[in-house]
Structure 1
Amino acid sequence: MVDFTIVAANVVPGTGAILNQGTAGEAITAGQPVALDPTTSKYVKADNDNATVALRRPAGICVVGANTNGPLIFQSAGEIALGTTLTPGVPVFVSATAGGICPQADLTTGKTVQMLGLCKTAAILSMDINPLGITI
């Protein structure tokens, strides 16, 4: 399988959404998972095989796109429409592609397990970030 193709314009916070703010350390698109860079205190695209462990740990999913050094709004819990087709009951994870979201099947040797949540419906992800930090 491959990363989900997310339509940024269709990313919408849902029931129980917890929204957070920060500063983007790079251009980030709605629907991309973000991590806090401890060096700059800015948010960047999460990546499950980044050399910097902190950048593997998701803080949430961007809900409003941001430019470098611009204001970032991201969701850390609750339901979110991701603008892609999901499979109910299936967990989704931070991808090895910076800012990508993938199904469990894409977690291969050398990748770090960083769960974002479970698919509630074909359109809604129930966010439950669980940065296990286990490398396969």
Structure 2
Amino acid sequence: MTDLVVTSALVVAGADSSAVSGVAGEAITAGKAVYLASATKKWMLADSNSATVEARQAKGIALNGASLNQPISVHKSGDITIGGTLVAGQAIYLSDTAGGLCPLADVGAGEYLCLIGLAKSTTVLAVDIQFPGVAL
């Protein structure tokens, strides 16, 4: 699987960003896909083939890096400069690497589909997370 290479220092929320704040449940870098763990109410790295059901459904993209128990901002929808090279018009999905993002071609058998958004340009991702709950 080939994940997008994200430069965390270049991750920036767009003007239409819908974001929330919370606490990191593990080390997270900016640009990684995350979910809110129901048991701890902390943000964790999402993973399309996780044994934990809720981890398969990303809820947003980390806007900043954080270590365990540090504050984190999470971009839930709207435009985000992702800090990586995109292909305009391409759909971006959650990968099987914790927090990773990838194109559909790199989602493998047994992974759960979680659409993160569509690339508006080579740098901007329009985040609109969709999770049908089905595996390839």
**TM-score with structure 1 setting the length:** 0.97
Alpha-carbon shift at residue 108 of structure 1 (Å): 1.3
User: Could you say which structure has the higher strand fraction?
Assistant: 1
- Give the aligned residue type for 2:52: T
Runs of 4+ in structure 1 displaced over 4 angstroms? none
1:26 is matched with 26
Alpha-carbon shift at residue 39 of structure 1 (Å): 2.0
Tell me the distance in 2 between the aligned counterparts of 1:44 and 1:86.
24
Tell me the distance in 2 between the aligned counterparts of 1:15 and 1:121.
16
1:13 is matched with 13
2:56 is matched with 56
- Give the aligned residue type for 1:98: A
Tell me the distance in 2 between the aligned counterparts of 1:51 and 1:135.
13
1:110 is matched with 110
Tell me the distance in 1 between the aligned counterparts of 2:131 and 2:3.
18
The answer to whether residue 74 in structure 2 is matched with residue 77 in structure 1 is no
2:40 is matched with 40
Report how many aligned residue pairs link the two structures. Answer: 136
Tell me the distance in 1 between the aligned counterparts of 2:35 and 2:93.
13
Percent identical among aligned pairs is: 40
- Give the aligned residue type for 1:67: S
Tell me the distance in 2 between the aligned counterparts of 1:36 and 1:49.
17
Tell me the distance in 2 between the aligned counterparts of 1:49 and 1:22.
24
Tell me the distance in 1 between the aligned counterparts of 2:132 and 2:63.
23
| Superposition CA RMSD, Å | 0.9
- Give the aligned residue type for 2:33: P
Secondary structure in structure 1 of the residue aligned to 2:68: coil
Where do 5+ consecutive residues of structure 1 fail to align? none
Tell me the distance in 1 between the aligned counterparts of 2:111 and 2:45.
16
Residues 87-119 of structure 1: CA deviation (Å, up to 9, x unaligned): 011100111000111110111110000010000
Where do 5+ consecutive residues of structure 2 fail to align? none
Residues 51-82 of structure 1: CA deviation (Å, up to 9, x unaligned): 01101111100001111011110100110001
